Amino acid sequence: MGLKKVSGAIRKYNNYVITSHIDTEGDALGSEMAVFHLVKQLGKEAVIANTDEVPDRYKFLKGWDKMVVGDDKRKLKGHDNIIVVDCPTIERCGAIGPVIERSKVKIVIDHHVSNERYGDFNWVDPDASSCGEMIFNLYREMGLNINEDIAVMLYVAILTDTGSFRYECTSPETHRAAGELIKLGVHPPKVAERIYETKEMGDIELLSRALSTIKLTDDKKISYMHVTKEMLDETGMDAERTDGFVNYARSIQGSEISIFFRQDANDARKVYVGFRSKGMANVNMLASKFGGGGHPKASGCVLVGDLDKVMNQVLTTAEEFL
Ligand SMILES: [Mn+2]
């Protein structure tokens, strides 16, 4: 339903900015880049703009270096309309938020259950594993060509958002899409190596310090861990290097909710909180108690305060929630 509306809108308008959420990761980048090529195949103009730089591990995606960073009015000039992928709220688009606000036509493609439908055209499918899977279907619906480079972009989006096909959102359709993308030229071991096996020693040092903080609540149903600003400073690693750390807490048998706390790299009073659920608990609802959101099994929020106090507050709420 939303697919047809959105594909019609994309065909109708021109001159797009394409964007996604802050802390860009695989689904955001792969989906944006694939949408960029989709729009180009229609003979239209487009530019990708993000709040953050492309993380190193995604710098094998073709064209990553052509993205605009921040609200660069000179580079975004003439691009009056916008396509936003994988982003539930305008606020989550960080520095590109004002670009969305001033765009004439806003097209939103997302799979977050917490999506606020801030576009003129919204296609939100919470059952989709990833935006990558949605964009794959968009290509098929529009009868456009997925070459090898685009196949890699979509595969990266699907692979990373499903936790390598491990999360509950992984469906027969997800595997079918991935299978098609492999047929179109994706080499899975090569992609996996680029994303998961190109770590620096600093990454391992940071992980080792983060792992030493893992604890369980008394009833062992909640596992939690943290990364401080000091750990980031001392290992010289960016905050995005902690992506996926929460899965170590999640992997503990019997833990139903896992929580990852991370101080901001520049401001220790700003604490990012990531929630994961392995059981029945809907952590989208839990995060929304703190003004955040996401998916039923993976969500997040940002809080301000001392790390200890934030951790106590969140853990107390999570225990009550369970
Ligand atoms: Mn996503």
Ligand 1 centroid – CA 51 distance (Å): 16
108 and 73 in a single domain? The answer is yes
Domain carrying residue 105:
2-195
Residue pLDDT, tens place only, 229-245: 999 999 999 998 998 99
- Bridge partner residues of 107 (DSSP): 83, 121
186 and 260 in a single domain? The answer is no
The answer to whether the Cα torsion of 94, 95, 101, 103 is positive or negative is negative
Ligand 1 centroid – CA 215 distance (Å): 28
Q: What is the pLDDT of residue 148?
A: 98
Q: What is the pLDDT of residue 1?
A: 61
Tokens representing 260 are 């990852």
115 and 226 in a single domain? The answer is no
Tell me which long-range contacts 165-173 makes (C-beta under 8 A, separation of at least 24): 167/129, 167/297, 167/298, 168/297, 169/111, 169/127, 169/128, 169/129, 169/130, 169/295, 169/297, 170/129, 171/127, 171/129, 173/129, 173/133
Q: What is the pLDDT of residue 279?
A: 85
Ligand 1 centroid – CA 280 distance (Å): 21
Ligand 1 centroid – CA 287 distance (Å): 17
- 190 has pLDDT over 90: yes
Ligand 1 centroid – CA 93 distance (Å): 13
Average pLDDT score over the chain? 96
Q: What is the pLDDT of residue 130?
A: 98
- 156 has pLDDT over 70: yes
121 and 246 in a single domain? The answer is no
290 and 182 in a single domain? The answer is no
Ligand 1 centroid – CA 88 distance (Å): 10
173 and 233 in a single domain? The answer is no
Cα separation, 64 vs 58, in Å, equals 8
Is 146 within 8 Å of 182 (Cβ atoms)? no
Ligand 1 centroid – CA 164 distance (Å): 13
CATH number assigned to the domain comprising residue 231: 3.10.310.30
Across the range 132-142, mean pLDDT stands at 98
118 and 19 in a single domain? The answer is yes
The per-residue DSSP string of 53-118 comes to PPPGGGTTSTTGGG-EES--HHHHTT--EEEEES-SSSGGGGGGHHHHHH-SSEEEEE--TT----
What CA–CA distances, in Å, run from 292 to 60, 115, 120, 191, 251?
Answer: 31, 11, 23, 31, 23
253 and 173 in a single domain? The answer is no
- 248 has pLDDT over 70: yes
Terminal Cα distance for the chain, rounded? 35
Burial environment of residue 283 by CB neighbours within 10 A (0 to 12, 13 to 18, 19 or more): buried
Cα separation, 244 vs 258, in Å, equals 12
190 and 214 in a single domain? The answer is no
What's the structural domain count of the chain?
A: 2
Residue pLDDT, tens place only, 254-291: 999 999 999 999 999 999 999 999 989 999 999 999 99
Work out the widest C-alpha separation in the chain, in whole angstroms. Answer: 59
Q: What is the pLDDT of residue 168?
A: 87
Residue at which a domain ends, from 161, 195, 229? 195
Q: What is the pLDDT of residue 138?
A: 98
117 and 165 in a single domain? The answer is yes
Residue pLDDT, tens place only, 164-173: 999 889 999 9
CATH number assigned to the domain comprising residue 167: 3.90.1640.10
Across the range 138-146, mean pLDDT stands at 97
Cα separation, 310 vs 320, in Å, equals 16
Residue pLDDT, tens place only, 198-233: 899 999 999 999 999 999 999 999 999 999 999 999
Assign 19 to helix, strand or coil. strand
77 and 164 in a single domain? The answer is yes
222 and 294 in a single domain? The answer is yes
Ligand 1 centroid – CA 20 distance (Å): 10
